[in-house]
Structure 1
Protein backbone atom coordinates (compact mmCIF):
# COMPACT_ATOMS: atom_id res chain seq x y z
CA UNK A 1 0.00 0.00 0.00
CA UNK A 2 1.54 3.38 -0.98
CA UNK A 3 2.63 5.74 1.77
CA UNK A 4 0.07 8.53 2.17
CA UNK A 5 1.28 11.94 1.16
CA UNK A 6 1.76 14.44 4.00
CA UNK A 7 -1.43 16.48 4.01
CA UNK A 8 -2.01 16.39 7.78
CA UNK A 9 -0.02 17.88 10.63
CA UNK A 10 1.07 14.52 11.99
CA UNK A 11 2.41 13.45 8.59
CA UNK A 12 4.22 16.69 7.73
CA UNK A 13 5.76 16.73 11.20
CA UNK A 14 7.09 13.24 10.49
CA UNK A 15 8.65 14.50 7.27
CA UNK A 16 10.23 17.49 8.99
CA UNK A 17 11.63 15.29 11.75
CA UNK A 18 13.08 12.88 9.18
CA UNK A 19 15.19 15.54 7.46
CA UNK A 20 18.90 14.93 8.21
CA UNK A 21 20.33 17.15 10.94
CA UNK A 22 23.02 19.65 9.92
CA UNK A 23 24.00 18.06 6.58
CA UNK A 24 27.04 19.20 4.63
CA UNK A 25 24.67 20.72 2.06
CA UNK A 26 21.42 22.25 3.27
CA UNK A 27 18.46 21.32 1.03
CA UNK A 28 16.76 24.03 -1.01
CA UNK A 29 13.05 24.36 -0.34
CA UNK A 30 10.05 25.36 -2.38
CA UNK A 31 7.13 26.29 -0.13
CA UNK A 32 3.70 27.87 -0.33
CA UNK A 33 4.02 31.49 0.77
CA UNK A 34 0.26 32.00 1.07
CA UNK A 35 -1.38 35.42 1.07
CA UNK A 36 -1.87 38.32 3.51
CA UNK A 37 -5.00 36.52 4.72
CA UNK A 38 -2.69 34.22 6.70
CA UNK A 39 -2.22 37.10 9.14
CA UNK A 40 -5.82 38.26 9.41
CA UNK A 41 -7.51 37.88 12.77
CA UNK A 42 -9.98 35.01 12.93
CA UNK A 43 -12.85 37.45 13.46
CA UNK A 44 -11.90 39.67 10.52
CA UNK A 45 -14.72 40.60 8.21
CA UNK A 46 -13.93 38.62 5.10
CA UNK A 47 -15.98 36.45 2.80
CA UNK A 48 -15.34 32.86 3.74
CA UNK A 49 -14.18 32.04 0.25
CA UNK A 50 -11.94 29.26 -0.92
CA UNK A 51 -8.99 31.62 -0.54
CA UNK A 52 -9.89 32.19 3.11
CA UNK A 53 -10.10 28.46 3.73
CA UNK A 54 -6.87 27.71 1.87
CA UNK A 55 -4.71 30.62 3.08
CA UNK A 56 -6.57 32.10 6.03
CA UNK A 57 -5.35 32.08 9.66
CA UNK A 58 -6.88 28.67 10.40
CA UNK A 59 -5.76 27.00 7.18
CA UNK A 60 -3.54 23.95 6.92
CA UNK A 61 -0.89 26.21 5.39
CA UNK A 62 -0.89 28.50 8.44
CA UNK A 63 -0.44 25.50 10.74
CA UNK A 64 2.31 24.11 8.52
CA UNK A 65 4.31 27.33 8.41
CA UNK A 66 4.31 27.49 12.22
CA UNK A 67 5.93 24.04 12.21
CA UNK A 68 8.20 24.68 9.23
CA UNK A 69 10.17 27.67 10.52
CA UNK A 70 11.30 26.25 13.87
CA UNK A 71 12.23 22.96 12.19
CA UNK A 72 14.47 24.76 9.70
CA UNK A 73 16.31 26.64 12.43
CA UNK A 74 16.73 23.50 14.52
CA UNK A 75 17.84 21.27 11.65
CA UNK A 76 20.26 23.63 9.93
CA UNK A 77 21.24 26.56 12.18
CA UNK A 78 21.68 28.57 8.96
CA UNK A 79 24.10 31.46 8.88
CA UNK A 80 21.72 33.24 6.48
CA UNK A 81 18.52 32.74 4.49
CA UNK A 82 18.40 33.58 0.79
CA UNK A 83 14.76 33.86 -0.22
CA UNK A 84 12.98 34.10 -3.57
CA UNK A 85 9.35 35.19 -3.90
CA UNK A 86 6.75 35.17 -6.65
CA UNK A 87 6.30 38.88 -5.97
CA UNK A 88 9.66 40.18 -7.16
CA UNK A 89 10.69 39.70 -10.75
CA UNK A 90 13.26 41.77 -12.63
CA UNK A 91 14.23 42.05 -16.27
CA UNK A 92 17.77 42.22 -17.61
CA UNK A 93 19.45 41.65 -14.27
CA UNK A 94 18.80 39.87 -11.00
CA UNK A 95 18.68 42.11 -7.95
CA UNK A 96 19.72 41.19 -4.44
CA UNK A 97 18.69 43.12 -1.34
CA UNK A 98 21.49 44.69 0.67
CA UNK A 99 19.79 46.01 3.81
CA UNK A 100 22.40 45.33 6.51
CA UNK A 101 20.81 47.38 9.28
CA UNK A 102 17.14 46.39 8.95
CA UNK A 103 15.02 44.71 6.31
CA UNK A 104 12.19 47.12 5.64
CA UNK A 105 8.83 45.67 4.57
CA UNK A 106 7.12 46.38 1.26
CA UNK A 107 3.36 46.10 1.75
CA UNK A 108 2.78 45.28 -1.90
CA UNK A 109 -0.95 44.59 -1.64
CA UNK A 110 -4.02 46.77 -1.82
CA UNK A 111 -7.49 47.01 -0.35
CA UNK A 112 -6.91 44.90 2.75
CA UNK A 113 -7.84 45.69 6.34
CA UNK A 114 -5.76 48.33 8.10
CA UNK A 115 -4.25 45.74 10.44
CA UNK A 116 -2.40 44.16 7.51
CA UNK A 117 -0.45 47.38 6.95
CA UNK A 118 0.82 47.37 10.54
CA UNK A 119 2.52 43.98 10.45
CA UNK A 120 5.84 43.81 12.26
CA UNK A 121 8.66 41.49 11.25
CA UNK A 122 12.18 42.51 12.17
CA UNK A 123 15.24 41.08 10.45
CA UNK A 124 18.43 42.36 8.92
CA UNK A 125 20.42 41.66 5.80
CA UNK A 126 24.11 40.93 5.35
CA UNK A 127 26.25 42.75 2.80
CA UNK A 128 28.80 39.94 2.55
CA UNK A 129 26.14 37.34 1.78
CA UNK A 130 24.45 39.67 -0.71
CA UNK A 131 27.78 40.21 -2.47
CA UNK A 132 28.42 36.46 -2.49
CA UNK A 133 25.06 35.91 -4.20
CA UNK A 134 25.96 38.46 -6.87
CA UNK A 135 29.39 36.88 -7.31
CA UNK A 136 27.95 33.40 -7.88
CA UNK A 137 25.36 34.70 -10.32
CA UNK A 138 27.98 36.55 -12.34
CA UNK A 139 30.19 33.46 -12.40
CA UNK A 140 27.26 31.65 -14.01
CA UNK A 141 26.89 34.37 -16.64
CA UNK A 142 23.82 35.95 -15.03
CA UNK A 143 23.77 39.74 -14.72
CA UNK A 144 23.17 40.75 -11.11
CA UNK A 145 23.66 43.57 -8.63
CA UNK A 146 22.74 44.50 -5.09
CA UNK A 147 20.01 47.02 -4.36
CA UNK A 148 20.29 49.27 -1.28
CA UNK A 149 17.52 50.38 1.03
CA UNK A 150 17.61 53.80 -0.63
CA UNK A 151 16.41 52.29 -3.94
CA UNK A 152 12.65 51.66 -4.28
CA UNK A 153 11.78 48.27 -5.72
CA UNK A 154 7.99 48.37 -5.90
CA UNK A 155 4.70 50.02 -5.11
CA UNK A 156 3.56 49.93 -1.49
CA UNK A 157 -0.14 49.67 -0.65
CA UNK A 158 0.26 52.60 1.71
CA UNK A 159 0.65 54.90 -1.28
CA UNK A 160 4.31 55.18 -2.24
CA UNK A 161 7.17 53.32 -3.89
CA UNK A 162 9.67 51.77 -1.53
CA UNK A 163 12.27 49.10 -0.80
CA UNK A 164 11.85 46.06 1.38
CA UNK A 165 10.98 42.40 1.65
CA UNK A 166 7.65 41.78 -0.08
CA UNK A 167 4.66 39.99 1.39
CA UNK A 168 5.73 36.71 -0.21
CA UNK A 169 8.52 36.82 2.38
CA UNK A 170 7.35 38.62 5.50
CA UNK A 171 3.86 37.09 5.64
CA UNK A 172 5.05 33.47 5.84
CA UNK A 173 8.13 34.42 7.85
CA UNK A 174 6.02 36.02 10.55
CA UNK A 175 4.25 32.69 11.03
CA UNK A 176 7.49 30.74 10.71
CA UNK A 177 9.68 32.84 12.98
CA UNK A 178 7.48 35.22 14.97
CA UNK A 179 7.95 38.98 15.15
CA UNK A 180 11.70 38.89 14.59
CA UNK A 181 14.57 36.81 13.30
CA UNK A 182 17.48 38.61 14.93
CA UNK A 183 20.36 36.17 14.42
CA UNK A 184 19.83 34.91 10.87
CA UNK A 185 20.27 37.49 8.09
CA UNK A 186 17.63 37.46 5.35
CA UNK A 187 18.52 38.37 1.77
CA UNK A 188 15.87 38.46 -0.96
CA UNK A 189 16.73 37.74 -4.58
CA UNK A 190 14.48 38.52 -7.55
CA UNK A 191 13.28 35.91 -10.02
CA UNK A 192 13.84 36.25 -13.77
CA UNK A 193 10.93 38.08 -15.36
CA UNK A 194 11.11 35.88 -18.44
CA UNK A 195 9.19 33.46 -16.22
CA UNK A 196 10.69 30.53 -18.11
CA UNK A 197 11.55 27.30 -16.29
CA UNK A 198 15.03 27.21 -17.86
CA UNK A 199 16.10 30.72 -16.80
CA UNK A 200 14.86 30.33 -13.26
CA UNK A 201 16.19 26.79 -12.84
CA UNK A 202 19.59 28.12 -13.90
CA UNK A 203 19.18 31.00 -11.46
CA UNK A 204 18.78 28.56 -8.59
CA UNK A 205 21.52 26.29 -9.89
CA UNK A 206 23.97 29.20 -9.95
CA UNK A 207 23.54 29.54 -6.18
CA UNK A 208 23.88 25.84 -5.31
CA UNK A 209 27.26 26.35 -3.61
CA UNK A 210 25.58 28.47 -0.94
CA UNK A 211 24.04 25.27 0.42
CA UNK A 212 27.49 24.01 1.47
CA UNK A 213 28.32 27.44 2.92
CA UNK A 214 25.63 27.26 5.60
CA UNK A 215 23.03 29.27 3.69
CA UNK A 216 19.40 28.15 3.55
CA UNK A 217 17.75 28.74 0.16
CA UNK A 218 13.96 29.15 0.21
CA UNK A 219 11.73 29.85 -2.77
CA UNK A 220 8.10 30.78 -2.20
CA UNK A 221 5.10 30.67 -4.49
CA UNK A 222 1.85 28.77 -4.96
CA UNK A 223 1.14 25.84 -7.24
CA UNK A 224 -2.46 26.95 -7.82
CA UNK A 225 -2.98 30.70 -8.21
CA UNK A 226 -5.85 32.15 -10.19
CA UNK A 227 -8.43 34.87 -9.71
CA UNK A 228 -10.34 33.73 -12.78
CA UNK A 229 -11.81 30.61 -11.15
CA UNK A 230 -12.35 30.84 -7.41
CA UNK A 231 -13.38 27.18 -7.22
CA UNK A 232 -9.73 26.30 -7.90
CA UNK A 233 -8.64 27.47 -4.43
CA UNK A 234 -9.92 24.33 -2.70
CA UNK A 235 -9.29 20.75 -3.74
CA UNK A 236 -12.90 19.74 -3.07
CA UNK A 237 -14.28 22.41 -5.41
CA UNK A 238 -11.53 22.53 -8.05
CA UNK A 239 -12.23 21.19 -11.51
CA UNK A 240 -10.77 17.74 -12.31
CA UNK A 241 -8.03 19.04 -14.61
CA UNK A 242 -6.76 21.37 -11.88
CA UNK A 243 -6.78 18.59 -9.29
CA UNK A 244 -4.90 16.42 -11.77
CA UNK A 245 -2.35 19.20 -12.23
CA UNK A 246 -1.78 19.33 -8.46
CA UNK A 247 -1.07 15.59 -8.43
CA UNK A 248 1.19 15.88 -11.48
CA UNK A 249 3.36 18.39 -9.59
CA UNK A 250 3.79 15.97 -6.70
CA UNK A 251 4.62 13.12 -9.08
CA UNK A 252 7.19 15.17 -11.01
CA UNK A 253 8.97 16.50 -7.95
CA UNK A 254 9.36 13.03 -6.46
CA UNK A 255 11.18 11.51 -9.46
CA UNK A 256 14.56 10.21 -8.28
CA UNK A 257 16.68 10.56 -11.42
CA UNK A 258 17.87 14.13 -11.91
CA UNK A 259 17.43 14.45 -15.68
CA UNK A 260 14.02 12.78 -15.69
CA UNK A 261 12.86 14.94 -12.77
CA UNK A 262 13.98 18.13 -14.50
CA UNK A 263 12.17 17.13 -17.71
CA UNK A 264 8.99 16.26 -15.82
CA UNK A 265 9.07 19.56 -13.93
CA UNK A 266 9.61 21.52 -17.13
CA UNK A 267 6.77 19.64 -18.82
CA UNK A 268 4.33 20.79 -16.13
CA UNK A 269 3.80 24.09 -17.94
CA UNK A 270 2.38 22.05 -20.84
CA UNK A 271 -0.04 20.12 -18.63
CA UNK A 272 -3.77 20.50 -19.40
CA UNK A 273 -4.48 22.14 -16.04
CA UNK A 274 -1.51 24.51 -15.95
CA UNK A 275 -3.00 27.56 -17.63
CA UNK A 276 -6.25 27.23 -15.70
CA UNK A 277 -4.22 27.11 -12.47
CA UNK A 278 -1.89 29.93 -13.55
CA UNK A 279 -3.23 32.58 -15.94
CA UNK A 280 0.23 34.10 -15.37
CA UNK A 281 3.23 31.98 -14.38
CA UNK A 282 4.87 34.03 -11.63
CA UNK A 283 3.58 32.01 -8.68
CA UNK A 284 4.65 28.70 -10.19
CA UNK A 285 8.12 29.72 -11.34
CA UNK A 286 9.75 29.69 -7.85
CA UNK A 287 9.57 25.89 -7.85
CA UNK A 288 12.19 25.91 -10.60
CA UNK A 289 14.55 28.10 -8.58
CA UNK A 290 14.48 25.62 -5.69
CA UNK A 291 14.78 22.64 -8.04
CA UNK A 292 17.85 24.15 -9.68
CA UNK A 293 19.50 25.01 -6.37
CA UNK A 294 18.89 21.47 -5.10
CA UNK A 295 19.41 19.69 -8.41
CA UNK A 296 21.73 16.96 -7.12
CA UNK A 297 20.25 14.60 -4.57
CA UNK A 298 16.80 13.37 -3.73
CA UNK A 299 13.58 15.30 -3.23
CA UNK A 300 11.22 14.89 -0.32
CA UNK A 301 7.65 16.10 -0.20
CA UNK A 302 7.49 17.73 3.22
CA UNK A 303 3.86 18.73 2.89
CA UNK A 304 1.39 17.95 0.11
CA UNK A 305 -1.06 20.71 0.99
CA UNK A 306 -3.23 21.42 -2.04
CA UNK A 307 -2.04 24.57 -3.88
CA UNK A 308 0.80 25.11 -1.39
CA UNK A 309 3.05 22.05 -1.10
CA UNK A 310 6.58 22.10 0.27
CA UNK A 311 9.47 20.21 -1.32
CA UNK A 312 13.03 19.75 -0.07
CA UNK A 313 15.36 19.54 -3.08
CA UNK A 314 18.83 18.07 -2.65
CA UNK A 315 18.32 15.95 0.46
Structure 2
Protein backbone atom coordinates (compact mmCIF):
# COMPACT_ATOMS: atom_id res chain seq x y z
CA UNK A 1 0.00 0.00 0.00
CA UNK A 2 1.25 3.46 -0.88
CA UNK A 3 1.48 6.36 1.56
CA UNK A 4 -1.99 7.54 2.58
CA UNK A 5 -2.78 11.26 2.59
CA UNK A 6 -3.40 13.63 5.42
CA UNK A 7 -6.61 15.57 4.79
CA UNK A 8 -8.46 18.41 6.47
CA UNK A 9 -12.18 18.79 5.78
CA UNK A 10 -14.70 21.35 6.96
CA UNK A 11 -17.74 19.51 8.27
CA UNK A 12 -19.97 22.57 8.63
CA UNK A 13 -23.47 21.98 9.97
CA UNK A 14 -24.65 18.42 10.70
CA UNK A 15 -27.11 19.05 7.85
CA UNK A 16 -24.15 18.42 5.55
CA UNK A 17 -25.09 14.76 5.86
CA UNK A 18 -28.50 15.42 4.29
CA UNK A 19 -28.35 18.55 2.16
CA UNK A 20 -26.86 18.61 -1.31
CA UNK A 21 -24.28 21.27 -2.03
CA UNK A 22 -20.68 21.68 -3.20
CA UNK A 23 -19.08 20.44 0.03
CA UNK A 24 -21.51 17.51 0.26
CA UNK A 25 -20.67 16.46 -3.31
CA UNK A 26 -16.94 16.84 -2.68
CA UNK A 27 -17.09 14.48 0.28
CA UNK A 28 -19.23 11.97 -1.61
CA UNK A 29 -16.49 11.77 -4.24
CA UNK A 30 -13.58 11.80 -1.82
CA UNK A 31 -13.62 8.11 -0.98
CA UNK A 32 -13.34 7.25 -4.67
CA UNK A 33 -10.39 9.58 -5.24
CA UNK A 34 -7.91 8.00 -2.85
CA UNK A 35 -6.76 4.50 -2.08
CA UNK A 36 -8.98 2.78 0.46
CA UNK A 37 -7.19 3.05 3.80
CA UNK A 38 -6.65 0.20 6.24
CA UNK A 39 -7.98 2.53 8.93
CA UNK A 40 -8.89 6.17 9.50
CA UNK A 41 -7.73 8.40 12.35
CA UNK A 42 -10.11 11.34 12.73
CA UNK A 43 -8.96 14.41 14.63
CA UNK A 44 -12.32 15.97 15.46
CA UNK A 45 -13.03 19.47 16.72
CA UNK A 46 -15.90 18.02 18.73
CA UNK A 47 -13.72 16.08 21.13
CA UNK A 48 -11.74 18.37 23.40
CA UNK A 49 -9.60 17.20 26.30
CA UNK A 50 -6.74 18.50 28.42
CA UNK A 51 -4.36 15.78 27.19
CA UNK A 52 -4.66 13.84 23.93
CA UNK A 53 -7.18 11.01 24.10
CA UNK A 54 -7.65 8.30 21.49
CA UNK A 55 -10.56 5.90 21.23
CA UNK A 56 -9.91 2.16 21.47
CA UNK A 57 -13.53 1.03 21.13
CA UNK A 58 -14.10 -2.11 19.07
CA UNK A 59 -17.53 -0.91 17.90
CA UNK A 60 -17.82 2.87 18.39
CA UNK A 61 -21.33 4.19 18.83
CA UNK A 62 -22.69 7.02 16.70
CA UNK A 63 -22.89 10.16 18.87
CA UNK A 64 -25.61 12.66 17.98
CA UNK A 65 -23.97 15.61 19.70
CA UNK A 66 -26.32 18.33 18.48
CA UNK A 67 -29.88 19.53 18.92
CA UNK A 68 -32.69 21.18 17.00
CA UNK A 69 -32.18 19.27 13.77
CA UNK A 70 -34.54 16.98 11.82
CA UNK A 71 -35.29 13.51 13.14
CA UNK A 72 -33.61 12.02 10.07
CA UNK A 73 -30.24 13.18 11.42
CA UNK A 74 -30.81 11.54 14.80
CA UNK A 75 -31.78 8.30 13.08
CA UNK A 76 -28.52 8.15 11.15
CA UNK A 77 -25.99 5.59 12.29
CA UNK A 78 -22.42 4.98 11.23
CA UNK A 79 -21.59 1.43 12.34
CA UNK A 80 -17.94 1.35 11.29
CA UNK A 81 -15.64 -0.94 13.26
CA UNK A 82 -13.18 0.66 15.64
CA UNK A 83 -9.41 0.61 15.23
CA UNK A 84 -7.92 -0.21 18.65
CA UNK A 85 -4.66 -1.24 17.00
CA UNK A 86 -4.30 2.25 15.52
CA UNK A 87 -5.21 3.73 18.90
CA UNK A 88 -2.33 1.78 20.44
CA UNK A 89 0.04 3.10 17.76
CA UNK A 90 -1.11 6.67 18.43
CA UNK A 91 -0.45 6.22 22.14
CA UNK A 92 3.02 4.88 21.37
CA UNK A 93 3.89 7.71 18.97
CA UNK A 94 2.39 10.52 21.05
CA UNK A 95 3.60 10.32 24.67
CA UNK A 96 1.02 11.30 27.24
CA UNK A 97 -1.95 10.12 25.17
CA UNK A 98 -4.76 8.53 27.16
CA UNK A 99 -6.41 5.50 25.57
CA UNK A 100 -10.16 5.92 25.97
CA UNK A 101 -12.15 2.67 26.21
CA UNK A 102 -15.58 4.18 25.57
CA UNK A 103 -15.54 7.14 23.17
CA UNK A 104 -17.74 6.79 20.07
CA UNK A 105 -17.81 8.82 16.87
CA UNK A 106 -19.09 12.38 17.17
CA UNK A 107 -20.60 14.20 14.21
CA UNK A 108 -17.26 15.74 13.33
CA UNK A 109 -16.21 12.19 12.44
CA UNK A 110 -19.29 10.36 11.21
CA UNK A 111 -20.87 13.10 9.09
CA UNK A 112 -17.97 13.41 6.61
CA UNK A 113 -17.24 9.68 6.79
CA UNK A 114 -20.84 8.76 6.03
CA UNK A 115 -20.51 10.71 2.78
CA UNK A 116 -17.01 9.57 1.83
CA UNK A 117 -17.27 5.93 3.02
CA UNK A 118 -21.00 5.16 3.17
CA UNK A 119 -20.47 1.41 3.56
CA UNK A 120 -18.91 2.07 6.99
CA UNK A 121 -16.46 -0.75 6.35
CA UNK A 122 -13.18 1.05 7.12
CA UNK A 123 -12.06 0.90 10.78
CA UNK A 124 -12.13 4.30 12.48
CA UNK A 125 -10.69 5.78 15.63
CA UNK A 126 -10.78 9.35 16.96
CA UNK A 127 -8.19 11.64 18.51
CA UNK A 128 -9.14 14.65 20.62
CA UNK A 129 -7.89 18.23 20.34
CA UNK A 130 -6.32 20.32 23.10
CA UNK A 131 -7.79 23.76 22.49
CA UNK A 132 -5.93 25.67 25.25
CA UNK A 133 -2.58 24.47 23.88
CA UNK A 134 -3.20 26.14 20.52
CA UNK A 135 -2.03 25.68 16.93
CA UNK A 136 1.64 24.94 17.61
CA UNK A 137 0.71 21.96 19.77
CA UNK A 138 -1.76 20.72 17.15
CA UNK A 139 0.95 20.97 14.49
CA UNK A 140 3.39 18.98 16.61
CA UNK A 141 0.76 16.29 17.12
CA UNK A 142 0.62 15.88 13.36
CA UNK A 143 4.40 15.65 13.14
CA UNK A 144 4.43 12.91 15.76
CA UNK A 145 1.79 10.88 13.92
CA UNK A 146 2.70 11.33 10.27
CA UNK A 147 4.42 7.93 10.12
CA UNK A 148 0.96 6.34 10.38
CA UNK A 149 0.39 7.38 6.78
CA UNK A 150 2.97 4.79 5.71
CA UNK A 151 1.07 2.16 7.70
CA UNK A 152 -2.15 2.49 5.70
CA UNK A 153 -3.81 5.06 7.96
CA UNK A 154 -5.69 8.05 6.58
CA UNK A 155 -5.23 11.04 8.91
CA UNK A 156 -8.41 13.09 8.64
CA UNK A 157 -8.70 16.43 10.42
CA UNK A 158 -12.33 17.47 10.74
CA UNK A 159 -13.21 21.02 11.74
CA UNK A 160 -14.13 24.17 9.84
CA UNK A 161 -12.01 26.71 8.03
CA UNK A 162 -14.22 29.41 9.56
CA UNK A 163 -16.50 28.89 12.54
CA UNK A 164 -18.30 31.89 14.01
CA UNK A 165 -21.82 30.66 14.66
CA UNK A 166 -22.65 33.86 16.53
CA UNK A 167 -22.90 35.43 13.06
CA UNK A 168 -25.46 32.89 11.81
CA UNK A 169 -28.37 34.82 10.32
CA UNK A 170 -30.19 32.60 7.83
CA UNK A 171 -30.69 28.85 7.19
CA UNK A 172 -30.29 29.43 3.45
CA UNK A 173 -27.18 27.54 2.37
CA UNK A 174 -26.50 29.36 -0.87
CA UNK A 175 -25.98 33.00 -0.03
CA UNK A 176 -23.04 35.35 -0.58
CA UNK A 177 -20.18 34.78 1.82
CA UNK A 178 -19.40 37.65 4.18
CA UNK A 179 -16.36 39.69 3.12
CA UNK A 180 -14.59 38.97 6.42
CA UNK A 181 -15.04 35.23 5.81
CA UNK A 182 -13.70 35.42 2.25
CA UNK A 183 -10.74 37.56 3.30
CA UNK A 184 -9.74 35.05 5.97
CA UNK A 185 -10.17 31.98 3.75
CA UNK A 186 -8.15 33.60 0.97
CA UNK A 187 -5.37 34.51 3.41
CA UNK A 188 -5.25 30.94 4.72
CA UNK A 189 -5.05 29.61 1.16
CA UNK A 190 -2.24 31.98 0.21
CA UNK A 191 -0.32 31.23 3.40
CA UNK A 192 -0.61 27.46 3.09
CA UNK A 193 0.46 27.61 -0.55
CA UNK A 194 3.48 29.71 0.48
CA UNK A 195 4.39 27.10 3.11
CA UNK A 196 4.44 29.79 5.80
CA UNK A 197 3.58 27.68 8.83
CA UNK A 198 4.77 30.25 11.35
CA UNK A 199 2.33 32.86 10.02
CA UNK A 200 -0.49 30.32 10.04
CA UNK A 201 0.26 29.46 13.66
CA UNK A 202 0.13 33.20 14.45
CA UNK A 203 -3.11 33.63 12.47
CA UNK A 204 -4.93 35.43 15.28
CA UNK A 205 -2.50 38.33 14.90
CA UNK A 206 -1.57 38.03 11.23
CA UNK A 207 -4.71 36.94 9.38
CA UNK A 208 -7.46 39.38 8.45
CA UNK A 209 -10.38 38.89 10.84
CA UNK A 210 -8.71 35.92 12.54
CA UNK A 211 -10.52 36.10 15.91
CA UNK A 212 -13.80 37.04 14.19
CA UNK A 213 -13.71 33.83 12.15
CA UNK A 214 -12.64 31.73 15.15
CA UNK A 215 -13.92 33.12 18.47
CA UNK A 216 -12.68 29.78 19.82
CA UNK A 217 -9.99 27.67 18.17
CA UNK A 218 -11.18 24.07 18.35
CA UNK A 219 -12.54 23.97 14.78
CA UNK A 220 -9.33 25.34 13.28
CA UNK A 221 -6.88 23.11 15.15
CA UNK A 222 -7.39 19.93 13.06
CA UNK A 223 -5.99 21.83 10.06
CA UNK A 224 -2.70 22.30 11.93
CA UNK A 225 -2.49 18.60 12.74
CA UNK A 226 -2.88 17.83 9.04
CA UNK A 227 -0.21 20.39 8.16
CA UNK A 228 2.09 18.80 10.71
CA UNK A 229 1.43 15.37 9.22
CA UNK A 230 2.91 16.45 5.88
CA UNK A 231 6.43 15.12 5.29
CA UNK A 232 9.31 17.51 4.53
CA UNK A 233 8.99 18.85 0.99
CA UNK A 234 5.44 17.56 0.63
CA UNK A 235 2.98 20.16 -0.61
CA UNK A 236 -0.43 20.71 0.94
CA UNK A 237 -2.99 21.76 -1.66
CA UNK A 238 -6.61 22.89 -1.77
CA UNK A 239 -8.90 19.94 -2.43
CA UNK A 240 -12.12 21.93 -2.22
CA UNK A 241 -13.25 25.51 -1.57
CA UNK A 242 -16.81 26.73 -1.09
CA UNK A 243 -19.02 28.63 1.35
CA UNK A 244 -22.31 27.89 3.08
CA UNK A 245 -24.76 29.97 5.12
CA UNK A 246 -22.64 33.01 4.26
CA UNK A 247 -20.32 32.43 7.22
CA UNK A 248 -18.80 28.96 6.89
CA UNK A 249 -15.87 28.39 4.57
CA UNK A 250 -16.06 24.68 3.70
CA UNK A 251 -12.50 24.39 2.42
CA UNK A 252 -10.62 21.10 2.37
CA UNK A 253 -6.84 20.81 2.26
CA UNK A 254 -4.63 17.78 1.85
CA UNK A 255 -1.21 16.51 0.99
CA UNK A 256 -0.59 16.67 -2.74
CA UNK A 257 -0.25 12.89 -3.11
CA UNK A 258 -3.92 12.53 -2.09
Gapped regions of structure 1 (runs ≥ 5):
1-21, 41-56, 150-162
Aligned match of 2:221: 285
Q: CA deviation at 1:223?
A: 1.0
Q: Is residue 240 of structure 2 the alignment partner of residue 303 of structure 1?
A: yes
Partner of 1:146: 99
- Determine whether 1:269 maps to 2:204: yes
Q: Does 1:250 align with 2:250?
A: no
Match of 1:33 in 2: 11
Structure 1 consecutive aligned stretches of length 4 or more whose deviation exceeds 3 Å: 231-239
Aligned CA RMSD, in angstroms, stands at 2.0
CA distance in structure 2 between the partners assigned to 1:243 and 1:181 by the alignment = 34
User: Which of the residues 7, 14, 32 maps onto 1:70?
Assistant: 32
What does 1:150-165 align with in structure 2 at a 5 Å threshold? 163-165=103-105
Query: Residue 242 of structure 1 contacts residue 274 of structure 1 at CA under 8 Å; is this kept in 2?
Result: no
SS in 2 for 1:38: helix
Separation of aligned partners in 2, 1:263 and 1:87? 25
Matches for 1:195-206 after TM superposition, within 5 Å? 195-206=133-144
Number of the residue aligned with 2:81: 124
Q: CA deviation at 1:173?
A: 1.1
SS at 2:30's partner residue?
A: helix
Partner Cα distance (2:231, 2:208) in 1: 26
* C-alpha distance in structure 1 between counterparts of 2:120 and 2:5, whole Å: 20
* Cα distance, 1:59 vs structure 2: 1.5
Where in structure 2 are there 5+ consecutive unaligned residues?
A: 244-248
1:97 aligned residue (35, 55, 62): 55
TM-score of the aligned structures, taking structure 1 as reference length:
0.74
Q: Which residue of 2 aligns with 1:134?
A: 91
CA distance in 2: counterparts of 1:277 and 1:195, whole angstroms: 19
Q: Which residue in the other structure is 1:209 paired with?
A: 147
Quick check: 271-280 or 57-66, which moved more?
Answer: 271-280
- In the alignment, is the contact (CA less than 8 A) between 1:208 and 1:294 conserved in 2? yes
TM-score normalised by the chain length of structure 2: 0.89
**TM-superposed deviation, 1:29:** 0.7
Residue 261 of structure 1 and its aligned partner are, at CA, apart by 2.3
Q: Bigger radius of gyration, 1 or 2?
A: 1
Does residue 87 (structure 1) correspond to residue 49 (structure 2)? The answer is no
- Measure how far apart 1:231 and its partner are: 5.9
User: Structure 1 residue 36: deviation in Å?
Assistant: 1.3
SS of residue in 2 equivalent to 1:172: helix
Contact 2:236 2:256 in 1 (8 A): yes
Bigger Cα displacement from structure 2, 76-85 vs 267-276: 267-276
Find the partner of 1:114 among 65, 68, 71: 71
Q: Judging changes above 3 Å, is the alpha-carbon distance between structure 1 residues 313 and 264 closer, same or farther for their aligned structure 2 residues?
A: farther
Cα offset, 1:35, TM superposition: 2.0
